[in-house]
A and B are shown apart, each in its own frame.
Chain A
Amino acid sequence: MKELSNKVCIVGVDESDEIGTLPGKSMLSLHLEATHNAIRDAGLKVRDIDGVFTAGQHSPATIAEALGVIPRYVDGTTVGGCSFIIMVGHAMLALHHGLCDVAVVSHGESGRSGVGVTPRRDTAIPGQFEASYGFGGAPTYFGLITTRHMHEYGTTLEQWAQVAVSTRKWAALNPKAKNREPITVKDVLDSRPVIWPFNVLNICLVTDAGGAVVLTRADRAKDTAKKPIYVRGAGEGAEHVSLTQMRNLTFSEATRVSGEKAFAMAGVGPRDFNHVMLYDAFTSGPPLMLEALGLAKRGEGVSLFEEGRSTPGGSLPINTNGGGLSYTHSGMYGIFPIIESVRQLRGECGPRQVPGARLGLVNGMGGMLSAAGTLVLANDR
């Protein structure tokens, strides 16, 4: 596994032309804008793409067709929002073995405006055993994980609110973030109740956005426009879909498996990172990921946010783009933490730049901590 480490690089990243509320753009346009922009960032041409990776409603064939390329490698693994993180690992394998030379991982989602989107339908299990009780939509599930964590570890609503406060401090420094005005713990606790234990400020945004990541082999990356960012480790895992099947409701086995694999490949430990991106659909998500990845003891993930370590100027900056909570969350958010990690490792982040960012952790979930993808990224070998 270690022979895969540092063999491929991320050489291009970008969002769609705009992110936010975009009723004039279809899901497909968001994909195409993002891929076009990320390829430009890499200093390559769209016709160079010969590996297409995407998740969601559009298949990789649709994206390839729309781009006008004939890929010799496609992957449409769709296990939730972390799929794009997982696909960086899949692209690493394909590139390393010469099955393609320039891979693009593309995301586009009209999550807010629903333009060019097929309406979602219940699949057999939630339709039969969950919808009749009002379940449906991520908050109705993730709240159960959160309540149980509070019961087992004594975590409080005030502590979860700290995650939103910390993330908003980063959003204030990112001109692309949707919500940038500062908030307090009290603001979170007083915001509109949605589903206890969540108020609206505990829950991610719903936006329209695209994002894309371009990869190539390290030997080829010397010719690209920007400083190449090495994929030092990649992992994935999948435990369940229905929350009733999660073995331990407060500990994500998928995340543990994914993290252990990525760390082993990279030859790093959970305390080696100086920049961390975690998929934050809910305030309780990042703390539980820190626990499953071994960056915090069980029950204590939220303390990194409480102690101010995660904020600007802190010792372990987390979600420096403003996260799904305050920057953007189109539905399958996983491409965006990769983009931010790369920008930080390149040193492109201006007022929110983490000084000396060298080794980055990217971890995302699919569904309700159901699946997971983890990357260890570095700005040198």
Chain B
Amino acid sequence: MDLQRPLPTPITPEAKPYWDGAREGKLMVPKCQACGKAFLYPRVLCPFCASRDITWIQASGRGKLFSFEIAHQILNKAFKVKTPVVLAMVELEEGPRMLTNLINCEADPKKLRCDMPVEVVFEKQTDEISLPMFQPARAR
């Protein structure tokens, strides 16, 4: 199957639990044992308190659409998903923000609003890589 997107590269050793989790449909994030805050991107030191005591937790997958854009063109030729595409910054319930796509929605700025609730969905790219994306949250 032709890939529709550039694969994440390089996968850094520090982020292996993130990608291992994604392959199993789990959104894994690093969490500082000292100050209790979760963060992204994965690194060996807490960006809030500089502690080296880091563990991993599974995030709920719920969050809010912190900000968004509607792309009518994508510069990267390896990105072949039909535009318009919603490029999004999601803030997870646990605190970290991540860049992603909002899918299963209309790519129309009038239909989207900052802070609307969203939930994670995993889109399989290869046997190794599944990408966390988000969709408008279903009623719970």
List A residues at the B interface (Cβ < 8 Å): 122, 124-125, 127-137, 140, 143-145, 147-148, 151-152, 193-198, 242-245, 249
B87 contacts across to A, CB distance below 8 A: 133-135, 140, 143-144, 195
Interface readout for B61-97 with A: 1 if CB under 8 Å, 0 if not?
Answer: 0000011111111111011010001011100000011
Q: How far is the CB of B25 from chain A (nearest CB, A)?
A: 17
B70 with A130: CB separation less than 8 A? no
Question: Which residue of A137, A193, A244 contacts B99 across the interface (Cβ within 8 Å)?
Answer: A244
The 7 listed contacts between A and B (C-beta, < 8 Å) are A124-B12, A136-B76, A140-B87, A144-B68, A144-B69, A148-B66, A151-B113
Interface Cβ pair total, 8 Å cutoff: 112
Interface residues of B in 1-40 (CB under 8 A from A): 5-12, 15, 40
Question: Interface of chain B, helix or strand or loop or mixed?
Answer: loop
A122 with B71: CB separation less than 8 A? no
- A126 (CB) vs chain B CBs: closest residue: B99
B70 contacts across to A, CB distance below 8 A: 193, 195-196
B81 contacts across to A, CB distance below 8 A: 134
B99 with A129: CB separation less than 8 A? yes
Cα(A128)–Cα(B99), bound, Å: 11
Question: Interface of chain A, helix or strand or loop or mixed?
Answer: helix
Max chain B Cβ within 10 angstroms of own Cβ: one of A127, A194, A196, A242: A196
B72 with A195: CB separation less than 8 A? yes
A136 with B114: CB separation less than 8 A? no
Cα(A125)–Cα(B14), bound, Å: 11
B12 contacts across to A, CB distance below 8 A: 124, 128
B74 contacts across to A, CB distance below 8 A: 134, 136, 140
A244 contacts across to B, CB distance below 8 A: 40-41, 89, 96-99
A128 with B10: CB separation less than 8 A? yes
Counting from the closest, the 6 A-B pairs by CB-CB distance are A151-B114, A143-B69, A196-B70, A148-B67, A144-B67, A244-B97
- B96 (CB) vs chain A CBs: closest residue: A244
B100 CB-CB contact with A under 8 Å: yes
When A131-B76, A244-B97 are in contact, do A124 and B68 touch as well, CB less than 8 Å?
A: no
Q: A127-B8, A129-B99, A145-B67 are in contact. List 5 more A-B contacts (CB 8 A).
A: A128-B8, A128-B11, A129-B8, A129-B98, A136-B74
Max chain B Cβ within 10 angstroms of own Cβ: one of A128, A148, A151: A128
- A151 (CB) vs chain B CBs: closest residue: B114
Cα(A136)–Cα(B87), bound, Å: 11
Question: Which residue of B8, B71, B98 contacts A195 across the interface (Cβ within 8 Å)?
Answer: B71
A197 with B109: CB separation less than 8 A? yes
Cα(A152)–Cα(B113), bound, Å: 11
A243 with B71: CB separation less than 8 A? no
Interface residues of B in 47-68 (CB under 8 A from A): 47, 66-68
A196 contacts across to B, CB distance below 8 A: 69-70, 72, 109
Q: How far is the CB of A311 from chain B (nearest CB, A)?
A: 29
Q: How far is the CB of B64 from chain A (nearest CB, A)?
A: 11
A132 with B131: CB separation less than 8 A? yes
